Amino acid sequence: MKNVKSIFILPLLVFLLSSMAYVLPANGETVHALLVIMDDDPKIGSNVKIDRKNMVNLLASVHNELAEVKTTTLLSSKDNATRDEVLQWVRNLKVGTNDIVFLYYAGHGGMNQDGQTFLATEGKWLFRSELVNAIEQVKSPRLTILITDCCSSLVSSNIDPSLQSSRNMTRLTERVLRNLFIEHKGFLHITAATEKQYGWSNVRTGGWFTSNLIQALNSNPDENRDEFLTWKEVFEITRQNTEKTFSQTTFTTKQQDDMKRKGITSQTPKAYSFPTPLFQSTLNGVLSGERKTVNYILLAIFIFTLFISNRISHNLKRQHAGRRRLSSFRVKASGIVAIEVLIWIGFNIFWSFFRTNWVVISIIGVILILMILIRKTRQYA
């Protein structure tokens, strides 16, 4: 009878495994954010103030939907946007294993004769390499985000209205924020332009890179339509739109001559590194990503159920069990198989619900399994 009790538990095990397969880390305990804004620059000060507003709104959405956000802002107008202040903030960080470090810079930047890129912080330049080295010394954050919009140069432009519209930060959906801030691990390091290129801005939208990044977040650019948004997808659409903005801009004769002399033909954002998605489900077929693993588990349990049912049926025949008993077992076994099939279908249709509510589903599954075990134990005692 142990085999009979086991087969009754199998559907619930399927249900439990389906939900627990999508166990996610808890929401980021804290987002430690630093905004470095060169807001008193005579050329780009007004532009980067828009960038600051966009980042403040983004962090507000994260705070409202996901986790506590602790923001420090360094402003050149306050004389604290210096290399030492930035590095000191990084070195003083104390983060948990599920925390997020978010660092954003908007201002001038460049590259020296040795090919080293830098952020033009007040007083002494902050080289990108030393900032990255300091960030990598921070212990245990689950996700680190470094976004730099530099260098920024004032330009009057005639841009496609579709690229200028809806630049303001809207409230992002919880799913988009969860995908990007909770369901990634590692180091996101992106900047507005490739070496030897300018990073442009204007007084309407701020930095082209930042405004296109915000637009990408608002538009949810899920390129492969798998209902899971990665930082790579966000960056790719940001890069495309930034290049498009450049190509549609009318530069002054002086700016054109300057770029021609330096061989600048575009503004192409650069990605130094991307974080790794903690999982990636897909609607384009059940046999891809993490969903593939779960479906293999379901298939294995389904086959095991059929195997056990067949063995029990043969044993009952060998024991010359009556037709009523044999028929009763077959009805129950068929019902169990049907339940497993329904669970499999339901999982693939409502996988996002399973993923999001795995805690509740797991608790319910454990309770039901315990109830059946107690009932069957009494029945066959």
Say what the pLDDT of residue 119 is. Answer: 95
Higher per-residue confidence, 221 vs 22:
221
pLDDT of residue 225: 64
Q: What is the pLDDT of residues 65-96, one digit of tens each?
A: 888 999 999 999 999 999 999 999 999 999 99
**Out of 184-188, 206-210, 258-262, 327-331, least confident range:** 327-331
Residues 157 and 227 in one domain: yes
Tell whether 360 and 263 lie within a shared domain: no
Show the tokens assigned to 346: 């339901």
Q: How much of the chain exceeds pLDDT 90, in percent?
A: 47
- From 277, 298, 317, the end of a domain falls on 277
What is the DSSP track for 138-202? Answer: S---SEEEEEEE--EEE------HHHHTT-SPPPPPHHHHIIIIISEEEEEEEESS-TT--EEEE
- Distances in Å between the Cα of 287 and the Cα atoms of 13, 19, 230, 272 are 21, 17, 19, 31
| 278-295: average pLDDT | 53
> Are residues 190 and 291 located together in one domain of the fold?
no
Tell me, yes or no, whether 260 and 343 share the same domain.
Answer: no
**CA-based nearest residue to 332, from 6, 2, 7, 3:** 7
Looking at this protein, which amino acid is placed at residue 222?
A: D
Higher-confidence residue of 322 and 284: namely 322
- Looking at the structure, do residues 252 and 297 belong to the same domain, yes or no? no
* Alpha helical stretches, state H, the chain: 2-20, 45-65, 83-91, 128-136, 161-164, 174-177, 208-219, 231-247, 253-262, 289-318, 323-349, 351-356, 358-379
The verdict on 187 and 265 lying in the same domain is yes
For residue 45, the model assigns a pLDDT of: 93
Specify the CATH number for the domain of residue 111: 3.40.50.1460
* Whether residues 272 and 293 fall in one domain: no
The residue range of the domain holding 60 is 30-277
Tell whether 175 and 97 lie within a shared domain. Answer: yes
Domain end point (choices 277, 303, 322): 277
- Rounded mean pLDDT, 86-107: 96
Q: Indicate if 39 and 128 belong to the same structural domain.
A: yes
Check whether residue 238 and residue 343 sit in a common domain: no
Count of domains forming the chain:
2
- pLDDT score of 281: 40
Averaged over 12-34, what is the pLDDT? 60
- pLDDT tens, position by position, 233-250: 999 999 999 999 999 999
Q: pTM of the predicted model, to two decimals?
A: 0.69
Q: Mind listing the pLDDT tens digit for each residue in 316-351?
A: 777 766 777 777 777 777 877 787 777 777 776 666
What residue type is 314 in one-letter code?
A: H
| SS3 label, residue 253 | helix
Residues 152, 224: one domain? yes
Residue 365: pLDDT above 70? no
Say what the pLDDT of residue 21 is. Answer: 45
Pairwise CA distance, residues 2 & 377, whole Å: 10
> 301 and 255, same structural domain?
no
* The last residue of a domain, from among 255, 277, 299: 277
